[in-house]
Amino acid sequence: MRITDINIKNYRAFYGEHHICLDKDGKNLMVYGENGSGKSSLFTALEDFLKSSVGKIDVEENIFVPASQKNTASIKVDIKESPETSKTTTFELKLTDKEIISADKTLIADANKIKGFFDYRSLLRTHMGHKDKVDLFDLLIGKVEYSFGGSLISNDSGILQNSINEFSTKELGREWFNIYKDTFTKRQDKKQQEATKNYLSTKFNPGLKKLLKDIEQDTNTFMKYFGANVKISLEFDKVEYQGRRKLSGNSINLKIDFFEKSIPKHQLFLNEARLSALAISLYLASIKVNPLTGALKILVLDDLLIGLDMSNRLPLLDILKKHFIEVDNDKQFQVIMTTYDKVWYELVRNYFGVEKWKYTEIYTKSLKDDDFEIPVIFNENGYLERAKHYLTEKDYKASAVYLRTEFERIVKTICDKQKIPVCYHKNQKETTSEDFWTAIESQTDLDPTLIHEITIHRGVIMNPFSHYDLEKPEFEAELKATITAVEKLKDEMKNVKKNKTIDKLEKEIARLNTEIAGKDKLIGELGAKLKAK
Amino acid sequence: MIGNPPYDVYQGSKKEEIEDILNFEIYQKCKGGKINSFELFLAKTHELLQENGINCQIFQNSFLADNSSRNLREFYFRNERIISIDSFPERDNPKKRVFESVKMSVCILLSKRHAINGNDYEFVVRFWDDKTMLKGYLTKFSIEEIILFDPKQLIILNLRIEEKKIYHYYYQNVTKYSDYFDCLEGELNMTFHKKYMINNPSNPLIVKGAQIQRYFTTSTPSQGDIEYVDEPKYLKDYSKSKKSHHHNINRIALQGISGANDKIRIISTLIPQNIYCANSCNYIIPVEGNNAISILSLLGIFNSTLTNWIFRKSSTNSNVNCYEVNNLRIPDIQHKSNALNYIEYLVQYVLYLKQEIFNENESQLIYHYFEQIIDGMVYELYFPELLKKHNREIIKHLGELPEFTDSMSDEQKMKICKKVFDRLNDKEHPVRVNLFYMNSIPEIAIIEGKNENN
């Protein structure tokens, strides 16, 4: 089950209607967005959408929506049920309904149970001081605080907030919140005391213990990707009711073994990078612990990369690839990541490629000068599409730039895939698309007609130093023809094969020999004529 | 007419008084069961009101669902136009009660004297969390619906609008518990039969309400002492009573009173032969000729989340009355004997695992998991189409469940439990997957209170 389209209207940062297309097969999504462009609104839109399958929620409308558009905020998601079918079902959360109204919304409720939503804020919370021991209870289960007057001060969710307690089939975070609330706000008569004690001993404590045990193995597996060659274990005994507003034992101690030897001052082992790695590993392990068959499984990581140092970013991609993406079909997650780091956006693009991923950019744009900004979603369909887009916009220069970029991408890909040797330059920056093109021309079986066609346009449009007058009307026609040629080259990418270079050379030698022989013959004949005279 | 009539049951020394009162024709509509004084006031109210006169009174909430108020309810449905009812269920916390010193639940009825023809008029019922009337929910009933849900007792249920459908599904199963079983009050009255209750453990045990837990009896009850019956003396005095022989059969014992606000209202277990029941508990025995459904299968169904929800929805006080139990439904059992056998075997497992000797986390988890499977099967038995539609069936994926036999040792039984658990608890086993996603089905989510607090 995969999401194929996301439509967001007048929701939080999304003023107006916005569409993110994940193609008919429901690709994973990587979003680049400037700060304030609406990445987090996308995160909450998906989270609200899933939550609204099991209860009513308040949909937050964009504050700039004009009176005529009030109460029109909505989040619409198309879901394809299986790879074998082309059938998609549309589900919509409208502000006025506060919940998804659909007979099939069980699909979304299933997805809500198995969802993974992790953001940089959750990660930042892991960077807290640990003195003599590392207590992860608040971080994992959540932190609740009540005032002496009995009002709720804070309720910070933990990493394992949504994990299901197998003893009660409820979410652990919510269970903890309710236990805490009961001891702080309810009258502690004998019945209430017994109820809390009983719940702790028969449901909460054994359930938490079991979950921690279950996620240890995967956590350690994931930690290895981050280069932390250690074995962690999470020690939890039991939470006990000690009377009104008194709960004890709410601590989960981290124990770390390094090559089967316990590290005595292990809190020193946990620098910020390792703590981040641990938090991510625990979180991902807690998602994997659930039954995975069948349901739509969404893993949304909002700006998580930015919360990670360089050494932790690539390992995260490796984990996602090997444990969430490149797994059996019915256990695959649909991963949605956002970042405001363009370098990382490109790196993820290179890492995962385009077959299973969609890359989208969100920029902010003012409707008028000095007006508020709205997000502009750019569903990136490749440089060629951008070139076409700018051609229709009459921005010829931009079109030519994207065309040249696409051409460079294609020739580099062909040389890379076919392992075609390219001219060596001591300074790598001096390697140009010309070098790649010459190599393709001479060493592949690419159709000579297409080679000819490309060669004609290369000199004019695709030369970065071309002084072609962009204002001339004939330039538009030239651009169109070049786009057609590059499109053909793109279509041929998969078919191009490296040619047997020696055959070609032998043929050339034979041709030259014939030519020489012909010229020798001519010289001989002319010499003979001269002698005769 | 505005009133706060007295709440007092006519019993014991007052019985004679009520017999005289009932001779007046206007009070005859109050007949049936134990008569409460507020019912007499309601009967009189109608006589005093003029046509279209308005009546607003606060009285016991039992008016909504108790058998004893059945005739009066029907009279009001026909002869008064009920405008609204505000119901304040029983609260343990005095601060939440309408009258701090009165624990019992109360309601406020607003009606107009105006005879109604037909059953399609609707009235509003608001169920409030406490006296502040700030939190609660509103629902509506037509007389037609009330007849549909319970044509005999005509009860006004504590049902939200979205819950009505589930309740109706359940009661579409026409077979009542009373068709195969009988629920009775414990044979030993703790007051009248006190003389038969002794402390000598060499005599047969008397099970009291506080000892009964889900799937086990405790030897350390939260209140009261463990007592035993002076059997020869009791049997000598009561040999003619049918009840005095019911200790000779395996029966289900249940707590006679459970918290009106509790999610779990039915707390029951199997008690073997030669154990007596005090009247603080009720018990269920099979009726003669019941070969269709075993007492163990019924125990699984009875203790299930679904049955608890249904009971909670139709009960207005903390009593678990026998007539309410007898009115519960057994799923249409044609072609389902296999499923009932499976429930029976799973109940054998949980009864075994719940013995107090097994306190480790592992056996606790096995116990909880088997309970979840029973819950899932019960949903499937009552709502087969619903589970089929969402592809969350359980029964067809269960595979082999071995039956316990008398000759098996504890070790052998535990081995069976572990083997079945390991198989069905595999992370991707269809039973575990379907149970995991079961409460995504909106109807099941409502029953399990997925969005309510624990």
Closest-CA distance, B215 to chain A, in angstroms, reads: 14
For the beta carbon of residue A218, count every other beta carbon within 10 angstroms: 19
Question: In chain A, count of helices (H) and strands (E)?
Answer: 16, 17
- Domain residue limits, chain A: 1-115+298-381, 122-296, 384-499
Set of chain A residues whose Cβ sits within 8 Å of the Cβ of B393 = none
Q: Which residue of A has its CA nearest to B371?
A: A167
Residue A159 has pLDDT above 90, yes or no: no
Q: Do B436 and A290 touch (CB under 8 A)?
A: yes
Q: What is the ipTM of this complex?
A: 0.81
Contact B404, B348 (CB under 8 A): yes
Question: In chain B, count of helices (H) and strands (E)?
Answer: 16, 16
**Interchain CB contacts (distance < 8 Å): A and B:** 75
Closest-CA distance, A291 to chain B, in angstroms, reads: 5
Q: Which of A54, A110, A291 sits opposite B427 (nearest CB)?
A: A291
Q: Which of A110, A166, A209 sits opposite B440 (nearest CB)?
A: A110
Q: Tell me which of A21-30, A123-132, B373-382 is least confident.
A: A123-132
Q: Do B450 and A54 touch (CB under 8 A)?
A: yes
Residue A9 has pLDDT above 80, yes or no: yes
DSSP character for B407? T
Contact A28, A334 (CB under 8 A): yes
Q: Which residue of B has its CA nearest to A56?
A: B451
Mean pLDDT of A519-528: 92
A171 interface with B at CB cutoff 8 Å: no
Give the tens place of pLDDT for each residue, B396-431. Answer: 999 999 999 989 999 999 999 999 999 999 999 999
For the beta carbon of residue A201, count every other beta carbon within 10 angstroms: 16
Contact A376, A363 (CB under 8 A): yes
Residue indicated by tokens 């990660």 = A123
Mean pLDDT of A177-181: 93
Write down the pLDDT at residue B425. Answer: 94
As a whole number of Å, the CA-based R_g of chain B is 24
Residue A289 has pLDDT above 60, yes or no: yes
Q: Do A106 and B442 touch (CB under 8 A)?
A: yes
A199 interface with B at CB cutoff 8 Å: yes
A227 interface with B at CB cutoff 8 Å: no
Write down the pLDDT at residue A462. Answer: 62
Set of chain A residues whose Cβ sits within 8 Å of the Cβ of B440 = 53-54, 106, 109-110, 112-113
DSSP A237-263: ---EEEETTEEE----EEEEEETTEE-
Q: Cα dihedral sign for B367, B368, B374, B376?
A: negative
Write down the pLDDT at residue A265. Answer: 65
pTM of the model: 0.79
Write down the pLDDT at residue A467. Answer: 46
DSSP character for A149? T
Q: How far is CA A459 from CA A386, A407, A436, in A?
A: 21, 13, 15
Q: Do B451 and A179 touch (CB under 8 A)?
A: no
Give the tens place of pLDDT for each residue, A387-441. Answer: 887 788 777 777 777 788 788 888 888 888 888 888 888 877 678 888 888 888 8
* Low-confidence residues in chain B, pLDDT < 50: 453-454
DSSP character for B404? P
Q: Do A109 and B369 touch (CB under 8 A)?
A: no
For the beta carbon of residue A107, count every other beta carbon within 10 angstroms: 22
Set of chain B residues whose Cβ sits within 8 Å of the Cβ of A54 = 440, 445, 450-451
Q: Which residue of B has its CA nearest to A169?
A: B436
Q: To probe the interface with B, which of A1, A98, A106 has the most B CB atoms within 10 Å? A: A106
Q: Which residue of B has its CA nearest to A102?
A: B442
Closest-CA distance, B365 to chain A, in angstroms, reads: 6
Q: To probe the interface with B, which of A104, A166, A204 has the most B CB atoms within 10 Å? A: A166
- From the list A172, A184, A371, A203, the residue with the least C-alpha distance to A289 is A172
- Domain residue limits, chain B: 2-158, 177-447
Contact B242, B265 (CB under 8 A): no
Q: Which of A54, A191, A206 sits opposite B361 (nearest CB)?
A: A206
Contact A257, A235 (CB under 8 A): no
Set of chain A residues whose Cβ sits within 8 Å of the Cβ of B103 = none
What does the block give as tokens for A102?
A: 């659909």
Q: Do B432 and A291 touch (CB under 8 A)?
A: yes
Q: Which residue of B has its CA nearest to A200?
A: B454
Size of chain B, expressed as the number of residues it contains: 454
Q: Which of B92, B372, B437 sits opposite A110 (nearest CB)?
A: B437
Q: Tell me which of A166-180, A364-378, B47-61 is least confident.
A: A364-378
Q: Which residue of B has its CA nearest to A104?
A: B390
Size of chain A, expressed as the number of residues it contains: 533
DSSP B207-265: E-GGGEETTEE-SS-SSS--EEE-HHHHHHHHTTSGGGGGGGS-EEEEESB--TT-S--
CATH code for the domain defined by A1-115+298-381:
3.40.50.300
Residue A475 vs residue B100, higher pLDDT? B100
For the beta carbon of residue A374, count every other beta carbon within 10 angstroms: 19
Domain B2-158 indexed as CATH 3.40.50.300: no
If interface means Cβ-Cβ distance under 8 Å, which residues of chain B face chain A?
Answer: 92-93, 95, 222, 259, 361, 364-365, 368-369, 372, 390, 427-428, 432-433, 435-437, 439-442, 445, 448, 450-451, 453-454
One CATH from 3.10.50.30, 1.10.630.10, 3.90.220.10, 3.40.50.300 for B177-447: 3.90.220.10
Give the tens place of pLDDT for each residue, A62-90. Answer: 888 888 889 999 999 999 988 788 888 99
Contact A96, A110 (CB under 8 A): no
Q: Do A210 and B361 touch (CB under 8 A)?
A: yes
pLDDT level of residue A219 (50, 70, 90 thresholds): very high
The Cα–Cα gap between A79 and A298 comes to: 12
DSSP A111-157: HHHH-EEEEHHHHHTT-----SS-B-HHHHHEEEEE-TTS-EEEEEE
Closest-CA distance, A26 to chain B, in angstroms, reads: 23
Q: To probe the interface with A, which of B96, B426, B454 has the most A CB atoms within 10 Å? A: B454
